[in-house]
């Protein structure tokens, strides 16, 4: 899935591992991983932020455990054991969110459970944590998790501002504002992400040109 | 208990609440294998089969877990069932048609992490569907997934010949098409209600 440059990996520092997830290898905008939650729960900024942080937590915990166990898990059953590790932490997160805020749990719905099948987490476990030390894996998970949260927030805030005229439930526009219903609908998710990708592509091509 | 008729459940899962275009489930294979019509159809078939099997198993598992009072094991046991079904399908396809096996490539094992399949299992549990209703729901969801995949594959095959701006090539363009398709599918709202 992700094509990590394993040859140059020895040279990079932990700060690099952290930074790369935020921008250069941003999981959503560059690698296009974990699209389902990105589109589904990004209808408001609040949902997007909560979902991003929940995913980042699961990513961090599973990366740590996978990295700790990397010398004990037989190669043949590694994917199955990664998925079990991830599923355990997702169950923990699910119950924790339910305990903190029932309302939030309701609005995120089944998508918390669906973090299990987020390709981003599995791909980090397979491509990074299973080959690197715990210390490096922590920074990788933090970078990727924050990058994911950042991308989700980018989408969620745009969709909430245009579709609802508010940000974090605070109205931004005067009374007469006609909200763009389409941004809240599923189609709006596709369009917003497509436009973000266009912007990022544009920036990247301009950079390589100059 | 749910009181919807079987036909309504099928229509709802397939068109009104299409898994890809309304719930955003299974976007990864949707973006990955929707380049060619033929692969798309076969991928749809494989997903539908896994969905059906795992949905039946999920019904049994849910009943069992409720009876022993351990609902927190739900997620873990569902994912194990799905992973083993995918393994089964993989071995089956490899034996029957090596060519198809190669063309699906990495996306075959990745069916395990297809959210649509786990989504079916979780939604049917949330909606408290019976055994027969679960099967119909899984079939509807699978048909909807295949439909969306085939539609977009057809469009993308045509677009290969079109001249488009360089920066919109690839994922961005596919997402635009998906958005327009999603708008079209909203026209089905209210059907079978």
- Establish if A2 belongs to a structural domain: no
**Cβ contact B85:B16 at 8 Å:** no
**Residue A185 pLDDT exceeds 80:** yes
Minimal C-alpha gap between B180 and chain A (Å): 7
Q: Which residues 6+ apart lie within 8 Å of A26 measured at CB?
A: A147, A150, A151
The string over B25-39, giving b where at least 16 C-beta atoms fall within 10 Å of a residue's C-beta and e elsewhere, is: bbbbbbbbbbebeeb
Query: What is the tens place of the pLDDT at every residue in B147-170?
Result: 998 998 888 888 878 887 777 777
pLDDT of residue B192: 60
Domain limits, chain B: 6-188
Instruction: Say how many residues make up chain B.
Output: 193
Mean pLDDT of chain A, nearest integer = 82
Measured distance CA(B29)–CA(A4) in Å, rounded: 21
Residue B54 Cα distances to A16, B81, B138, angstroms:
41, 6, 9
Q: Is B79 on the interface with A (CB under 8 A)?
A: yes
Which of B74, B54, B75 has its CA nearest to residue A83? B75
Q: Is the dihedral of CA B79, B80, B81, B82 positive or negative?
A: positive
Measured distance CA(B63)–CA(A194) in Å, rounded: 42
Of all residues in chain B, the one with the smallest CA distance to A181 is B183
Mean pLDDT is highest, among A10-14, A27-31, B146-150, for B146-150
- Establish if A140 belongs to a structural domain: yes
Query: What is the tens place of the pLDDT at every residue in B19-41?
Result: 888 888 888 777 777 778 888 88
Count of structural domains, chain A: 1
Of all residues in chain B, the one with the smallest CA distance to A199 is B167
- Establish if A8 belongs to a structural domain: no
Q: How many CB pairs under 8 A join A and B?
A: 114
Query: What is the tens place of the pLDDT at every residue in B109-132?
Result: 777 777 888 888 888 888 888 888
| Surface of A (54-83) touching B: CB under 8 A | 79-80, 83
| Surface of B (16-45) touching A: CB under 8 A | 21-28, 31
State what percent of residues in chain A have pLDDT above 90: 16
Query: What is the tens place of the pLDDT at every residue in A54-65?
Result: 999 999 999 999
- Establish if A47 belongs to a structural domain: yes
| Surface of B (162-191) touching A: CB under 8 A | 166-168, 171-173, 175-176, 178-180, 182-183, 186
Q: Is A84 on the interface with B (CB under 8 A)?
A: yes
Of all residues in chain A, the one with the smallest CA distance to B174 is A194
**Residue A3 pLDDT exceeds 50:** no
- Establish if A4 belongs to a structural domain: no
- Establish if A1 belongs to a structural domain: no
Which residues is A170 bridged to in the sheet? Answer: A167
- Establish if A6 belongs to a structural domain: no
Q: How confident is the model at residue B9 (pLDDT cuts 50, 70, 90)?
A: confident
Of all residues in chain A, the one with the smallest CA distance to B25 is A36
Q: Which residues 6+ apart lie within 8 Å of B91 measured at CB?
A: none
Look at B168 and A201 and tell me if their CB atoms are within 8 Å.
Answer: yes
Q: What is the mean pLDDT of residues A2-16?
A: 54
**Residue A50 pLDDT exceeds 70:** yes
Measured distance CA(B193)–CA(A140) in Å, rounded: 48
Look at B75 and A40 and tell me if their CB atoms are within 8 Å.
Answer: no
**Could you list the residue range(s) of the whole structural domain that residue A75 is in?**
14-209
Query: What is the tens place of the pLDDT at every residue in A36-46?
Result: 778 888 888 88
Measured distance CA(B184)–CA(B180) in Å, rounded: 6
């Amino acid at each position: 899935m992700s094509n990590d440059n394993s040859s140059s990996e020895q040279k990079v520092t932990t700060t690099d591992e952290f930074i790369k997830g935020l921008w250069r290898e941003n999981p959503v905008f560059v690698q296009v991983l974990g699209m389902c939650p990105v589109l589904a729960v990004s209808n408001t900024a609040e949902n997007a932020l909560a979902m991003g942080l929940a995913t980042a937590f699961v990513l961090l915990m599973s990366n740590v455990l996978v990295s700790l166990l990397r010398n004990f898990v037989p190669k043949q059953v590694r994917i199955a054991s990664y998925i079990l590790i991830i599923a355990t932490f997702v169950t923990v997160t699910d119950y924790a969110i339910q305990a903190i805020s029932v309302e939030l749990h309701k609005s995120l719905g089944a998508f918390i459970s669906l973090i299990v099948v987020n390709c981003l987490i599995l791909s980090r476990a397979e491509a990074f944590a299973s080959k690197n030390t715990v210390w490096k894996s922590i920074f990788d998970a933090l970078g990727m998790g924050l990058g994911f949260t950042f991308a989700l927030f980018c989408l969620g805030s745009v969709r909430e501002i245009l579709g609802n005229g508010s940000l974090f439930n605070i109205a931004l526009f005067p009374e007469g504002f006609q909200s763009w219903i389409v941004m809240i609908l599923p189609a709006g998710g596709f369009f917003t992400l497509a436009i973000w990708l266009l912007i990022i592509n544009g920036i990247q091509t301009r950079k390589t040109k100059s | 208990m749910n009181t919807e008729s079987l036909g309504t459940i099928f229509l709802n899962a397939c068109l009104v609440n299409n898994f890809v275009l309304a719930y955003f489930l299974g976007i990864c294979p949707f973006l990955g294998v929707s380049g060619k019509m033929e692969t798309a159809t076969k991928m749809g078939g494989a997903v539908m089969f896994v969905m059906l099997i795992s949905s039946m198993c999920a019904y049994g598992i849910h009943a069992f877990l409720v009876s022993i009072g351990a609902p927190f094991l739900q997620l873990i046991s569902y994912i194990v069932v799905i992973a083993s079904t995918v393994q089964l399908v993989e071995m089956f396809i490899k034996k029957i048609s090596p060519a198809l096996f190669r063309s699906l490539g990495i996306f075959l094992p990745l069916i395990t992490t297809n959210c649509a399949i786990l989504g079916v299992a979780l939604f049917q549990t949330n909606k408290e569907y019976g055994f027969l209703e679960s099967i119909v729901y899984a079939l509807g969801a699978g048909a909807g997934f295949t439909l969306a995949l085939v539609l977009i594959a057809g469009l993308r095959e045509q677009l290969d010949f079109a001249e488009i701006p360089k920066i919109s090539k690839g994922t961005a363009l596919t997402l635009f098409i998906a958005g327009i398709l999603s708008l079209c599918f909203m026209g089905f709202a209210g059907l079978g209600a």
